[in-house]
Amino acid sequence: MESYHISGGKTLEGEYRLKGAKNAVLPILAATIISGRTSRIKNCPRLSDIRTMMAILEEMGCGVSWDGSDILVDSSPVNSFRIPQKLMKEIRSSVFLMGPTLARCGQVILSDPGGCAIGKRPIDIHLAALRLLGVDIAEKDGLLECRAKSLKGAVIPLSFPSVGATENVMMAAVMAEGETRILNPAKEPEIVDLQNYLTSCGADITGAGTEEIRIIGGLPLHETEYEPIPDRIEAGTILTAAAAVRGKVLLKGAAPEHMDSVLDCLEESGCKIWRQDHSVYLEASSPLKAVKPIETRPYPGFPTDMQSQFMALMCLAEGTTEITEAIFENRFKHVAELNRMGARIRIAGKTAMIEGVESLRGQRVTAADLRGGAALVIAGLAAEGDTIVENISHIDRGYDRLEDILTGLGARIERVVEP
Ligand code: UD1
């Protein structure tokens, strides 16, 4: 088992160039199946979730390789519509393979998706939407068997703007006959990015990021080269870490326009932020203050993927901050660990009340999920003394060697293999 050993109290200073967004790259990799051609996806992070997605594509017959930081996928040889069960359990994002595999093969067999243990993550909205496109879905021996004689364009109202369901419908509809309209779709920048990738292959999709997405299906697709958007959660995590240790950090290759809710909260907490076209700079020299109540929301609201990191920061702010997790249940596993480091957090239902303290103290803590693990690293960087964060395989799912990123900015953090 690997752990992070962190010596707290060092500030973060310097610059870092962001990588492509995990939550954009994963659905785009799934979408490469549709075209039956070659896709070059540029500036991808080397994350365990991405390696798992590549392994799934390979098992389904694709040629998949790294070329520097680009991923090449040749989906012409796809020869299976079964998503390998063992790999499927490893990543939640494997659920994105439903839409593309249906588009390419007319059928898909899969098991329940895996992923972070952050509460119930049902896929009923995905299934209801795919049924409207003409897909028959049956459950047999714990497997979902989905088949469509032919996919037919339809009007698809989503009961909640689910990111995954919106992506699945977009990908299936690219090969459906006629027009599909997705009403109440998710508006996350990663949705716009998926539209842009599919358009770069020759698909006809418009409206991503608005109240309605329109897809004209059945166009022939071709090979493409595509660079996904920068990772707004990697960016938010580094800036929040810098804020916690009173640092000064410049992020290059950033898209600050995707990060307003988080940047606004950082500003409100006393940090100075400069937003430019492709960079964002944070300087944290004034004392940290509690911010107005935060509730996680679909984009452009405060992202659930930044809830735990921002909570770690608010542990050190003057005053009390209220953070409500409205997207996922059970996404407060970091709270008990932060409290063991000296934080004062109380939970009432979906809401955490964070009463700021003067300082945190180093402790041996355990990451229970990806972003909660990142929160413990932030707390460890800011704490007095040494912190050990165990179970960092969770963190590797979403950050490409977080220790290298932070060491490059002046932190003392080491990856240690523990028996
Ligand atoms: C979610 C986040 C997304 C983030 C991703 C990775 C939101 C709205 N979505 O996307 O920003 O990048 O995690 O961490 O913040 N739901 C159902 N039935 C379904 C699908 C979803 O009830 O079929 C519920 C979920 O249980 C959850 C909510 O809808 O409460 C959000 O789901 P969804 O957006 O689909 O989640 P992800 O696609 O995983």
Burial of 71-91, coded b for 16+ CB within 10 Å and e otherwise, reads bbbbbeebeebbbbeebbebb
Q: Indicate the average pLDDT of the chain.
A: 95
Q: Judging by beta carbons within 10 Å of its beta carbon (0-12, 13-18, 19+), is residue 150 exposed, middle or buried?
A: exposed
Lowest mean pLDDT among 82-86, 190-194, 248-252, 293-297: 82-86
pLDDT in tens, 137-190: 998 887 889 999 999 999 999 999 999 999 999 999 999 999 999 999 999 999
Tens digits of residue pLDDT in 205-261:
999 999 999 999 999 999 999 999 999 999 999 999 999 999 999 999 999 999 999
The pLDDT value recorded for residue 129 is: 97
Query: What's the one-letter identity of residue 178?
Result: G
Q: Quick check: 309 and 348 in contact, CB under 8 A?
A: no
The three-state secondary structure class of 208 is coil
The pLDDT of residue 118 is above 60:
no
The average pLDDT across 306-335 equals 96
Closest of 303, 306, 257 to residue 280, by C-alpha:
257
Q: Is the pLDDT of residue 126 over 70?
A: yes
The catalytic position among 44, 62, 116, 315 is 116
> Rounded CA gap, 155 and 170, in Å?
12
pLDDT band at 298 (very low <50, low <70, confident <90, very high): very high
**112 pLDDT tier (thresholds 50, 70, 90):** low
- Whole-model pTM: value is 0.95
Residue 157 CA to ligand 1 center (angstroms) comes to 16
Bin 66: left if φ > 0, else alpha if -120 < ψ < 50, else beta. beta
Q: Which atom of ligand 1 lies at the shortest distance from residue 371's CA? A: 14
pLDDT at 237: 98
Share of the chain above pLDDT 70, in %: 98
Residue ranges in 215-259 assigned as alpha helix (H): 232-244
Q: Is 165 in the pocket of ligand 1 (CB under 6 A)?
A: yes
Q: 383, 43, 72, 395: which is closest to 230 by C-alpha?
A: 43
Residue nearest to atom 10 of ligand 1 (CA): 163
* Nearest-atom index, ligand 1, CA of 327: 30
Give distance in angstroms: CA of 304 to centre of ligand 1.
9
* CA–CA distance, 414 with 329 (Å, rounded to integer): 32
Instruction: Measure 162 CA to ligand 1 centroid, in angstroms.
Output: 5
The whole-angstrom separation of Cα 127 and Cα 312 is 36
Output the DSSP codes for 31-72.
HHHHHSSEEEE-S----HHHHHHHHHHHHTT-EEEEETTEEE
**What pLDDT is recorded for position 111?**
79
116 is catalytic: yes
Is the pLDDT assigned to residue 274 strictly greater than 50?
Answer: yes
Q: What is the pLDDT of residue 117?
A: 53
The yes-or-no verdict on residue 121 having pLDDT over 80 is no
Q: C-alpha distances in angstroms, 229 versus 67, 133, 170? A: 19, 29, 18
Q: Is 123 in the pocket of ligand 1 (CB under 6 A)?
A: yes
Of the given ranges (195-199, 325-329, 352-356), which has the lowest mean pLDDT? 325-329
| pLDDT mean over 397-419 | 96
Residue bearing tokens 């109290």: 9
Q: Which two tokens stand for residue 357?
A: 């303290």
pLDDT value of residue 32: 98
pLDDT digits 0-9 by tens, 17-71: 999 999 999 999 999 999 999 999 999 999 999 999 999 999 999 999 999 999 9
| Mean pLDDT value across residues 393-411 | 97
Ligand 1 lined by 153 (C-beta under 6 Å):
no
* pLDDT value, residue 115: 46
Position in ligand 1 atom list of the atom nearest CA 128: 23
